[in-house]
Amino acid sequence: MQTKVTFRHLKSRPDLQEAALDAIKKFERFSDMISTASVEFSADSQSKVKFVLVVNGDTLIVEESSEDFMKSLRTATDKMVRQLKKHKEKIFERS
């Protein structure tokens, strides 16, 4: 799996990068068909986190904003886990 962590409008922070990579490892427990994963941290008016995963040819996207990057990351991670579970159910129903 290809993994990419991007920081926009802020300097790279090792704590956020490590937390993002841990979140992506968590996603692997829910789907072994993830080909690419990217995380984007953006500091505009709020602390925004965006996940983009390509799973079995489908693109799953989650964005979350809050006053803190770690809070945004946790909420976005939970949303992506829900999407991965839903995606897995759809794939299972098709077969």
Q: What is the pLDDT of residues 69-92, one digit of tens each?
A: 999 999 999 999 999 999 999 888
pLDDT of residue 80: 98
Q: Are 64 and 75 in contact (CB under 8 A)?
A: yes
What is residue 91's predicted lDDT score, i.e. its pLDDT?
84
* pLDDT > 80? residue 93: yes
Asked if 60 contacts 31 with a C-beta cutoff of 8 angstroms, the reply is no
Q: Which backbone phi and psi does 12 adopt, to 5 degrees? A: -60, 135
CA distance 52 to 39: 7
> Where do the structural domains in the chain lie, given as residue ranges?
2-94
Report residue 49 as tokens.
């986190």
Question: What would the two tokens of residue 47 be?
Answer: 């602390």
Domain 2-94: state its class. Answer: alpha beta
Q: Confidence class of residue 6 from pLDDT cuts 50, 70 and 90?
A: very high
